Amino acid sequence: MTLTKEKVFVTKSFMPPLNEYMQYVEKVFNNAQLTNGGPLVKELEAKLIDYLGIDNIQYVTNGTIALQLALRALDIEEGEVITTPFTYVATTSAILWEKLKPVYVDIEPDNFTIDPNKIEEKITPKTCAIMPVHVFGYACDVDKIQKIADKYNLKVIYDAAHSFGARYKGKSLASYGDISTLSFHATKLFHTVEGGACIIKDEIVKKELDLLKRFGHNGDEHFCLGINGKQSEIHAAMGLSILPYMNEILEKRRRICKLYDELLKDVVQLPDKQKDHEHNYAYYPVVFKSEEELIRVFEVLKQDEIYPRRYFYPSLNKLPYILEYTPCPISEDISKRIACLPLYPALDLETVEKIGKTIRNCILG
């Protein structure tokens, strides 16, 4: 009898105890309110504010809608948005979907975030906002970016989809910028199956975004064009079930990352540690010497049913529907050589050690 190997993917969603989830679902069945800002949504928002140490939060349907709502709430309706080519496609998609033009600025080679020293040269009279990304939970240079934004009177929207629980200078990384957005997709560190959020600096903008996510009306009074960005009680139930386990989740991920560090620090390029930054262990990115080396490692791992993933490829400035090509040589190079290794709480350290040693042997021989 041949035993089938268990496949190891780059991530695996954390599932809370079923009975704890069902206790929340039972509440939904009892009060029969499934959506429209029900009690579980409000409870989750309150608990997230407390857990993250932020002033407010708007829980929405997903991280992409969060970015689109952020642009609309800040009245960014035309012009250019400076952003990074090294991120998931949703960042660019949100800009394009709102009929704006993404203007790409290359990244820093050590932490893969937008290079603040290259932003000013891309600012034109059409520039209306900057949308950087805290890639893999590493912090953009928020101080430099804010100085540039203040100098040119630009709005800053941080795509903080990877940054749940990460902190910079003692503050939640999601508290920087005019608006920061989070993703609670099933693959994320904290998830609600699908979901996202906006954290907003200005009280008036917060009220505007709340209105926008509810079709732009209160009762029978219609104030503006809106969309359906509301989240359901069933999704909130998942978040409420997972939130009490966050410290345990983070600790397990930290241990996995520490073991990877020990096994791979002299074999592949790892991101630099950042001063004043508390990492959240959301991803474990490694940069190989070449794309050929990456592909070779992938093929060897695949033989053992282990599947890392290329985060992020291709560099978004090379997407086929971006009509005006902007060279971003660092992003284009890194995107060919970088991958994220399997990382999730249920991943046992024996498998982590096997992955690390397989990569070592494949590269060093």
Say whether pLDDT at 218 is over 80. yes
Percent of the chain clearing pLDDT 90 (strictly above): 98
Look-up of token digits 């053992």: 304
Mean residue pLDDT of the chain comes to 97
- Can you tell me the mean pLDDT for 245-270? 97
- Given pLDDT bands bounded at 50, 70 and 90, which one contains residue 4? low
Domain spans, the chain = 8-12+245-364, 18-243
Omega before 314 within 30 of 0, i.e. cis: yes
Report residue 297 as tokens. Answer: 């490692």
Query: ∠164-168-173 over CA atoms, to 5°?
Result: 35
Give the tens place of pLDDT for each residue, 149-185. Answer: 999 999 999 999 999 999 999 999 999 999 999 999 9
CB 49 within 8 A of CB 200: no
- Given pLDDT bands bounded at 50, 70 and 90, which one contains residue 5? confident
Exposure string over 173-202, b if 16+ CB within 10 A, otherwise e? bbbbbbbbbbbbbbebbbbbebbbbbbbbe
Report helix, strand or coil for 183: strand
- Can you tell me the mean pLDDT for 80-105? 98
CA distance 49 to 213: 19
Which backbone phi and psi does 277 adopt, to 5 degrees? Answer: -115, 130
Say what the pTM is. 0.96
Can you give the pLDDT at residue 365? 81
Say whether pLDDT at 104 is over 70. yes
Pick the CATH number of 18-243 from 3.40.630.30, 3.30.750.210, 3.40.640.10, 3.40.50.740: 3.40.640.10
* 40-46, long-range: CB < 8 A, 24+ apart: 40/233, 40/236, 40/237, 40/240, 41/231, 41/232, 41/233, 41/236, 43/236, 43/240, 44/192, 44/236, 44/239, 44/240, 44/243
Give the tens place of pLDDT for each residue, 276-333. Answer: 999 999 999 999 999 999 999 999 999 999 999 999 999 999 999 999 999 999 999 9
CA distance 166 to 330: 25
Can you give the pLDDT at residue 1? 40
Can you give the pLDDT at residue 2? 44
Percent of the chain clearing pLDDT 70 (strictly above): 99
Pick the CATH number of 8-12+245-364 from 3.40.50.300, 3.90.1150.10, 3.40.50.620, 3.10.20.30: 3.90.1150.10
